[in-house]
Amino acid sequence: MGKVKYILLDCDNTLCLSERLAFEACTDLTNELLEKYNISERYTVDDLLEAFVGQNFRGMMNGLQKKHNFEMPADQLEEYVGKELGAVTAKLKAKCQPCPGAPEELERLKQAGYPMSVVSTSAKPRVVASLEKTGIDKYFPNEHVYSAATSLDPPSSKPDPKIYLYACEQLGVKPDECVTVEDSKSGATAAMRAGIPCIGYVGVYKLEDGEEKMKQMEKTLREQCNCVEIMYDWKEFPELLKKVEARS
């Protein structure tokens, strides 16, 4: 494909260790809603991560409505989306850390002249909070931070590819001229559906959940999402990028 024209990067658990923090913040709200609808099931942080990693809160709420056969009025959904955004953003501003090796690799990419953009399923204020707390916001102009929850009308969520297609349109590049990095099935599926070569990042699973979970996600990203390469550590990114660029 030659030199990649744009590197598109997921944020949560790809650049920033934000996913678990976010789910910690939204678990109580989720269970509060289920109680309102007289649904007995309750979720832990790990339950929600297992079922909805890579999706935003709106997408998660839509999934729970289908699973438990209830329907929220639009104004109530918007109310809880707002509550969740506030709770998550506050937690990320206080505690978010970068994924190991990501800041160093971003600096190398900047020095090498690669333009970069964040393409996230999460609400933009939450993404910006993560980038700022970890000190990597300097690599991403605000106008090059795209959010399926905020940038699109109506809002969407990965695995819908709309946010990737929108980002490519705004950046003036074709999907197959880019490469992205994703850590989740929903994110990698969105990239696959958009026609963007995707490097699956699984190192965070070993860090947070152990080697078995990492191997499971590697298998998922390879076999179900057609990831062109698998990355275990950000130090591997330069060589993986060369492999992607060498593909016909």
- What secondary structure does DSSP assign to 141-193, as a single string? -GGGEEETTTTSSS---TTSTHHHHHHHHHHT--GGGEEEEE-SHHHHHHHHH
> Is there a single domain that holds both residue 224 and residue 116?
yes
Tokens of 90: 């506050």
Other C-beta atoms lying within 10 Å of the C-beta of residue 38? 7
Does 102 map to a domain? yes
List, as own/partner pairs, every contact residues 58-66 make where C-beta atoms lie below 8 angstroms and the sequence separation is at least 24, other chains included.
58/149, 58/155, 58/157, 59/121, 59/157, 59/158, 59/186, 60/26, 60/30, 61/33, 62/157, 64/30, 64/33, 64/34
Question: Are residue 82 and residue 112 in the same domain, yes or no?
Answer: no
pLDDT at 54: 83
pLDDT on residue 53: 86
Residues 6+ apart with CB under 8 A from 47: none
Kindly report the average pLDDT of the chain as a whole number. 95
What is the C-alpha to C-alpha distance for residues 146 and 170, in angstroms, rounded to an integer?
A: 10
Mean pLDDT of all residues in 203-221: 92
The answer, yes or no, to whether residue 72 has pLDDT greater than 90, is yes
- Do 108 and 54 sit in the same domain of this protein? no
Q: What is the tally of structural domains in the chain?
A: 2
> Residue 178: is its pLDDT beyond 80?
yes
Alpha-carbon dihedral sign for residues 138, 89, 208, 230: negative
Q: Is residue 1 part of a domain?
A: no
What is the average per-residue pLDDT within 22-48? Answer: 93
Q: What is the pLDDT of residue 11?
A: 97
Residue 84 shares a structural domain with residue 189: no
**DSSP code of 99?**
P
d(CA 189, CA 226): 8
Q: Is residue 87 domain-shared with residue 102, that is, in the same domain?
A: no
pTM of the model: 0.88
pLDDT at 73 over 70: yes
Q: What pLDDT is stored for residue 230 in this prediction?
A: 98
Q: Length of the chain, please?
A: 248
155 and 34 together in one domain: no
Task: For the chain, give the percent of residues with pLDDT over 90.
Answer: 92
* Residue 35: predicted pLDDT: 95
d(C-alpha 46, C-alpha 68), whole Å: 19
d(CA 59, CA 66) in angstroms, rounded, equals 11
Question: What domain range is 186 assigned to?
Answer: 6-17+96-246
Going by pLDDT thresholds of 50, 70 and 90, the confidence category of residue 248 is: low
**pLDDT at residue 1 tops 80:** no
Q: Are residues 77 and 131 in the same domain?
A: no
Residues 227-246: tens digit of each pLDDT: 999 999 999 999 999 999 99
pLDDT, average across residues 161-170: 98
| Domain end call among 47, 79, 95 | 95
**Measuring CA to CA, how many Å separate 121 from each of 19, 101, 115?**
12, 22, 20
Residues 60 and 151 in one domain: no
Would the pLDDT of 166 be above 80?
Answer: yes
* In a domain? residue 71: yes
pLDDT at position 55:
87
Indicate the residue type of 7. Answer: I
- What mean pLDDT comes out for the span 68-79? 94
Six-digit token pair at 34?
């289920």
